[in-house]
Each structure stands twice: as structure tokens, then as C-alpha cells.
Amino acid sequence: MKNLLFDSEAKSSHRGRRLLSFVAVATSAILLSTPALAAILKVPGNYATIQLAVDAAQPGDIIRPGPGRFDEVISTKRNGTLTAPIILDGGNQASMRQLYLRHSHFHLVNMGLSGVTTMYQRLVYFDYGSHFCILSNNVLDLDRSTSVYGVEWKMGRVKPFGSGEAGSDNLIISNTVKNCRAFIMMTIGGDRNLVVGNRLINSPNVDAFRLFGRSNIVRGNFVMDSPYVEGLGNHPDFIQTFGNNGDGSTGHIIEGNVVMRLDGAQLTQLEGNLVPETGDWLFRNNLFVDIALQASCTIPNVRYYNNTFIRCNRVNGGHALSFSSRAYQLTSVYTRVAGTNYAHGAEVMNNIFIDCGNEAINRGWYGFTTNLTGIRANFNYVSKHGYQPVAQDSRKRVVGSATGWSTFDWWEPDGINGGDPRFKSPAASDYRLLPDSPLADVGTLLSLVPNDFDGAIRPQGRGWSLGAYEPLSDLVSSRPRTVNNLRVLAE
């Protein structure tokens, strides 16, 4: 398979400039619009309903609902442009039922969405043609309705990635999605979408993200406090992908997220099934704390670089990261066909694993089945039971070696086994490293992780620190703040 992750990283400066240009221009359009450039369409006032205002709005226009509830299902009518998007601004005082995005350059900001109770419906739908749209500072409240999406994508008709019709180059930033029940908070598809700085909270038995398409980025989100309710249904995951629907999923970056207190949930469930165009994912600088079950992976070229794992997979008691294979796929009860589920090329580098797995001292970090090729694990820190060392492979077999390796007992030529990592305040879930941490400057340099969780540039010319953070003394944070309370300044 072509390595789309590294292809996309090689082109990241161009793509990054394009995306940043889009975000900068789009944000400027929200913040700096003037009466000379845009009409202000008031509801009620100029129009009796939001939909009538949306139907009338031209590129550059701003729709302003007044305070209160508008029990409407809104569908976009026409495209905006990069420098003149159509903006629906709820002013943090209006709410509505649903939004169907079917055109480009439409922005929804400062709006509440709620009231959908029909199973398999959604609050926001990215339909074909929904490119370069922005959702910012909205509150999506599922009201504990069972099997309702917060955000849903319409996938391309031509598998595995469509022909450019699935929504792409969109920005979902600073929204809150809450009270989902036994379903999916966000399903993302298309290409080059950026999902950043959102809060996904208080939702039992849910998948936070289902991720398809190409080169999407999930960055700086907070996924927290999702209880597990026995008998409610749905197998919950932080992130899931699968090939059963024929959709590919490749080249994604999952970075800088805080994922905490997910009862009964897996960290990931990554399966390709019969879709070989699934793989090449990069997890970097994430903080995972108290995730009930493991990160399961049977797709190729998935890399975990500089993440921090605290008390993950305490329920099943195995490893926090599980890389394996499935040589066949069931197409019916009786039929098996050759599958594509192999986690070849997986890498685990510069991570921290503390008290993961059950009480056994030879479980809790990562496991690779011995039929995998091209795998690598080194420069990681592991400990159990108050920073005590874990069971070590007496034969010192390197993961990925031709002679085999232990799938339980740990050993790395450059890893650290036990010892106080010197976090700032683990009791307060502050896992930043103190300046005298033994995990500082002992990692390997990884070109795909130039910054840490806080956006600080990792020191050049010496070993990088393990886990998501550089030591406090090294931090000069450039981590962008999420956008709040976007308002048009002029009437």
C-alpha cells in the first residue's frame, strides 16, 4: 500500500498553508464583516423563519436569529465563497433543531442545536457539496435520545473514497457535543477536515469519533466522562473505523487530545476488513487516562508517538495497545474470504505506560502478534504498582526481530522500566514533566512529532522527552487557543 501518511506529511507545508489560509480568511470574514460587505438578515424582522433567511442569503450575508427557540430543520440553499461565506450566527442566544449542509462556505456559529429524537437522525449533517464550511462555538445537545448522531457525514458513493463529493476541507472547532446515548457523537468522512478544540462529554455507551476518508486531523479535543450503562447497547470507542461499509480511512492524524474517564469503552477499534485502503494513522502527543479497554488495531502502519497512557485497559487486563491480525473476513455465517486485517508496520515510540492492564506485572503496555512484519517498539517508559518495574524478558528479544519476541514480558534496548517519572501533579491529572524528570531528553527524535502537547517545539539536537509533554522548563507554548464567542462586530 502507498504510504499516504508520509506522503501527506511530506506535503504538509503546502496543505497546512492552504488550510491555515482558509481558516484565517474565514475567521476574518466572521470577525470583520461590515454593512458595506454584508447584509444582516434578522429573524424575526426581515424574515419570519431562519429557513427563509437562509434561502434569501447571498455570499457575504449574515443571518441573525433573535433570542429563543426556532424549531426548524435548516438546509443550505447556495454556496458562499472563501472571502464571503454565508454565516448563520445564533449569538449564543438562539437554538434550532437540525442543520443540513449541502453547499460550500457556510458557517454556523454560536448556535444551540437540540430536539432530535428519531433514531439514526442527526443534529448536523455534512451532505455532498459541503466543502470549506465552519462549525464553531455551537452546543449540540442530544438530550439522551438513543441512537442519534451529533455530527454525521455522507460518504462518497464510489468506494472507498468517492469522487470528491463527500464534504472536505471543513473546520469543526470549539463546539460542545453532549448527552449522546448509545451511538456516535461525530462521524467524520471526506478529505482534509480539521476537528479541533471540541468538548465531547457526558454521553453513555458512545463512540466519540468514527473516522473515514483521507488526511483528516482530530486535534486538541476533550473527550471526557462517558459512563457505561449495562444493557443500553452499542460497543463504545474513543475512535473507530471499519471496512464493512466499503469506505476507506487513511492518512489521519490524532494529536493533542485529552481522553479521560471512559467507562466500558475501548480506546480504539481500528479494522480494515475488506478495504485495503485503510491504514497509515498517526497518534501523537495525546493524553489517555482511565480508559476501560484497550486500543485494538488490525490495520497497517499505525504509529503511536509520544503519548501518555495512564490506567488504560484495567477491565480486560491485557495491554493498552493491541496489534494483531485477522486472516479472513466473514461475509455471511458460512462464508469466509481473505481479509486485509493485518497491523503490519505498527510503531510504538517515546510513550509512557503507567498502571495499564490488570494487576499482573507482565501486562499493560503493548502487544504484537508474532505474524506481523515491519513493527517497532522502543524508547518507551513502563511501570506498575507505584512506578515499580514490570516483568522483563530475560532473553531480551527486540520487538520485530526475525527470531521472535515476547508478547507479554517487556524489554526494549532503549526503554525505561520503572522509577518515578516526576509528574507535576498526578493527583490532579497534571501529567506534565518536572525539569528533573528521568523521562526528559531520553527519547528518540521523530520527524513526525516536532511539537509537544502544548505546542512547544521539541528541543533539536538532543533526545526528546517521553510522553506528551516536554519538561516545564522547556515550554514556550505555541498551542493555539480555541475560538469562543465568534461575533460579527458591525451591524
Taking only the tens place, the pLDDT of each residue in 369-414 is: 999 999 999 999 999 999 999 999 999 999 999 999 999 999 999 9
pLDDT digits (tens, 9 = 90+) for 324-366: 987 665 555 555 555 668 999 999 999 999 999 999 999 999 9
Q: Nine-digit cell at 3?
A: 504510504
H or E stretch at 12: helix 12-32
pLDDT category, 481, cuts 50, 70, 90? low
- Residue 9, SS3? helix
The per-residue DSSP string of 31-90 comes to: HH--TTT--EEEETTT-SSHHHHHHH--TT-EEEE-SEEEEEEEE--S---SSS-EEEEE
**Better pLDDT: 273 or 73:** 73
Q: Which of 131, 87, 126 is nearest to 109 (CA)?
A: 87
- Architecture label for domain 19-474: 3 Solenoid (2.160)
Gyration radius (Cα) of the chain, Å? 23
CA-CA distance, 177 to 221, in Å (whole number)? 11
Contact between residue 130 and residue 103 where contact means Cβ atoms under 8 Å apart: yes
CB 459 within 8 A of CB 441: yes
All structural domains of the chain with their residue ranges: 19-474
Q: Which amino acid is at 95?
A: S
Predicted TM-score (pTM) of the model is 0.89
Question: Among 407, 392, 325, 317, which Cα is nearest to 357's?
Answer: 317
Amino acid at 341: N
Task: Report the largest interatomic distance among the alpha carbons of the chain, rounded to a whole angstrom.
Answer: 78
Q: Judge contact between 376 and 401, C-beta under 8 A.
A: no
Higher pLDDT, 333 or 101: 101
Closest by CA to 152, choosing from 174, 164, 135, 132, is 135
